[in-house]
A and B are shown apart, each in its own frame.
Chain A
């Protein structure tokens, strides 16, 4: 009797904890979604409505024309093409170079491996802003300024990605390679047929972070390009702000359009994305 009672109270306690958890998650969810909600509603307000204090959460009249106006204020069609092209190619490039380098650092023996890896990690300590001018000078001398090469090639290698995948590859038992070698499998084939499929969540995480970073890149694109035909969506978004103020309603309309591809990508890959984040401990 006593044990049944304690079982009941245990279940009730469990339920209360779960309810509390759900409430906390709901609150967290609302906090996370609030900026998106504000972005969406502001995109449908007038200029005056967007600046109203206290904020007007739901506009009395929905101004869908803001989307057409925002789209027409800059060549967004071209910007979207460039954003997709640059993000996809640099992501593919980075995934390939990262896999190769990470495998070498994780599983192969060569002279100075650890020193080289430490130097690579050391480069993570240098702020990107500090390298902007030297990189600009280098790309100018290479004749890549205002070309896709400037937007893609320097970003086809990521030390952080190498570090991430190296740690993942190290957890793969060496016995697998021994078995593959006995079966006559060359190292390249082993890497692409065995190691990479086993590391799918980590590889996808690297790819997703790269895509997001590339899609959102602003300063680099602005610096390395001069013509509108080479620019990307984030640069287009900057045209709605000036030193004296921001056209929030148009900026938010353009922002909604800009995040759509990322949202779609996230819907399709959220399982891998969450798995990758959980396994690699990235926050």
Chain B
């Protein structure tokens, strides 16, 4: 009897200690690139998280632009003082995937299954959901609603409309308004959208072969090449040239800037899903994910706390809050079914196209050299769209330059 009492007491003591250990105060560092406009909303989410988990303190640290954040993460890898978690683009962490602490195994099946399909592959390393999506946007079609009553539904309609709307209004030989606009040097993902819609990809499934210049790639680049006379090419934000373009593909996150710029240019801005390509109506998802770092300067308690925060941010009500406040898109399927989001979409009809497009989204590949591949894409795509090189020659040149990156 006494033995049972002692064992029982020891059990209670052990559980108590474990519970106390689980609630030991812990501080985690979260590096991000959300500037002043988004910071209060991120802080509001963190405050709500800390209210729910009072033993966890989250130190939010703004690290400047995305490139500054990337530079800091690289330096911190070398110095061994990474934060507990950070906002990351896929190509930043693919070279350091071995020091990522997988979040997926600490989530429920329901939570994992709830993530929007297009976001899963770009967060999955060796079959394990390692990072989780956070601030995500999708490329959609913006158009001058005063000029375009019905946005183009197919590539052919897009071409016809771009051609019709390209005009030299004062007859001085210079085009005053282009049918469309592209930012090839700044946003080579615009090419990847057409490539994916044609059924193509940069590499084959197991990354052993460059497939960018196969039949689908050729179809995509030939279509874009045919648009050259009707395309305004720039590296600037398209919102700086609104009066010069009738429609353009841009990130959903830029809606507010584009809307203001369209109003300044004297027209109403419309938002639509992208025209359908030969294979699909897909669009590329952009934006960052959340990574937890598995490094010696982070304790298990800190990593556990960071996982809790990642899961908290994935909750339907939180990803909806973030989306409504920031202009990014919710990252879980259940979020799109919440009444709050439905009400928001009803009040902001432009969101309908963005939400629908998000569910047809695809993400960037996780190849460790994607960053270098992207540089090649932007250089060559820019050369093609500026007419410095022929469309097919440029595409083949892209493939040739990407080839050596497969084995490096």
Contacts and interface: CB of A to CB of B under 8 A. Distances in A.
Interface of A: 47-48, 51-53, 73-74, 132-133, 136-137, 140-141, 145, 219, 222-223, 226-228, 235, 238-245, 247
Interface in B120-174: 137
Contacts of A244: 137, 237, 251, 253-254, 257, 327
Given A133-B78, A137-B75, A247-B37, A219 B68 contact: yes
B26 interface: no
B390 to A, nearest CB: 32
A231 B76 CA distance: 18
B97 interface: no
Contacts of B265: 53
Contact of B260 (A48, A136, A227): A48
A243 B257 contact: no
21 contacts: A53-B240, A53-B265, A133-B74, A136-B78, A223-B71, A226-B29, A227-B61, A235-B64, A238-B64, A238-B65, A242-B33, A242-B37, A242-B38, A242-B65, A243-B65, A243-B253, A244-B237, A244-B251, A244-B254, A245-B256, A245-B257
Chain B interface size, as a band, is: 35 or more
Contacts, number: 87
Report which residue of A51, A132, A219, A241 has the largest number of chain B beta carbons within 10 angstroms of its beta carbon: A51
Contacts of A73: 36
Contact of B261 (A51, A132, A227): A51
Contact of A51 (B137, B239, B327): B239
A47 B61 contact: no
Interface in B255-288: 256-257, 260-261, 263-265
Interface of B: 29, 33-39, 61-66, 68, 71-72, 74-76, 78-81, 137, 237, 239-243, 251, 253-254, 256-257, 260-261, 263-265, 327
A227 B137 CA distance: 29
A53 to B, nearest CB: 6
A226 B61 contact: yes
Nearest to A228: B62
B241 to A, nearest CB: 8
A87 B87 CA distance: 31
Closest 4 CB pairs of A and B: A245-B257, A239-B36, A140-B79, A136-B75
B62 A239 contact: yes
Given A51-B264, A244-B253, 15 more contacts: A53-B243, A53-B264, A132-B71, A137-B79, A223-B71, A223-B72, A228-B62, A238-B65, A239-B36, A239-B62, A240-B36, A241-B35, A242-B33, A244-B254, A245-B254
A245 B71 contact: no
Nearest to A219: B68
A239 B254 contact: no
Nearest to A225: B61
A143 B114 CA distance: 43
Given A48-B260, A226-B61, A243-B66, A238 B75 contact: no
Contacts of B327: 244
A244 to B, nearest CB: 4
Given A48-B264, A227-B61, A245 B68 contact: no
B79 A136 contact: yes
Contact of A245 (B64, B75, B237, B263): B237
Nearest to A72: B36
Given A219-B68, A238-B64, A145 B81 contact: yes
Contacts of A247: 36-37
Report which residue of A73, A132, A133, A145 has the largest number of chain B beta carbons within 10 angstroms of its beta carbon: A133
A37 B369 CA distance: 45
Contacts of B34: 242
A47 B261 CA distance: 10
A238 B35 contact: yes
A142 to B, nearest CB: 11
A141 B78 CA distance: 11
A230 to B, nearest CB: 11
A30 B253 CA distance: 38
A47 B260 contact: yes
A141 B239 CA distance: 45
Contacts of A223: 68, 71-72, 75
